[in-house]
Amino acid sequence: MGMPAVNERGATSNHSDEFKKGRILNESKKKRMMVSRGEIYWIKDTHKEVGSVQKVDGFRPALIISNNKGNYYSTTVVVVMLSGQVEKAMRKKLDCQIIIDTIVGMQVVMCEQIRTVDKVQLDDHITKLSKEQMRAVEEVLKLQLNL
C-alpha cells in the first residue's frame, strides 16, 4: 500500500491509486491514437508462446492491415505478424508469406498470422510500407483468405 497524499481538493489518496489513474489515462490516449494501414509497429504480445508463434522479449513487429476509418474509431487494429527468419521462409516458400525490405532489414510478412490487437499493445512505430509493398501484401492476403 502506498503512502497517502493530499490532492488539490484536500482529499487523501494513495500513490498507487494515482499511478493507476495515470496508467489508465495513458491507455485511453493510446486507444485514441491514429495509426494507418501499412504501418509497422512493435506490439506487446500477450499470447503465450505456443507452437510456431514466436516472440522476442514479449514484443513482435506487426503490420497494420485494418482500414483507416476503423483504425480511427476503434480501440483495436487488425495486424499480421512479421518475422526476421527470412532464410527459413525462403526454404518453405509458402504462398501465405511474403518477404519485404524494411528499415530494420528483411522481414517475412506472415499473412497466416492475422490478429486483432488492442491499441494499448502498440509500442514504437517502426516504418510504413510503400504503396507497392502494401499491394504485394494485399495479394498474399487475398490468397490466404481465398478472396
Tens digit of each residue's pLDDT (9 = 90 or more) over 4-47: 444 444 444 444 454 444 444 455 555 567 899 999 999 987 66
The neighbour count for residue 117, using CB atoms within 10 Å, is: 21
Q: What digits encode the pLDDT tens for the residues 58-109?
A: 788 999 999 999 999 999 999 999 988 778 777 777 788 888 888 888 888 9
pLDDT confidence of residue 105:
87
Report the alpha-carbon distance of residue 74 to residue 100 in Å, rounded: 28
pLDDT of residue 1: 44
Tell me which of 3 and 120 has the higher pLDDT.
Answer: 120
Query: pTM higher than 0.75 for the full model?
Result: no
pLDDT at residue number 79:
96
Question: Given CA atoms 11, 13, 17, 18 in this order, what sign does their dihedral have?
Answer: positive
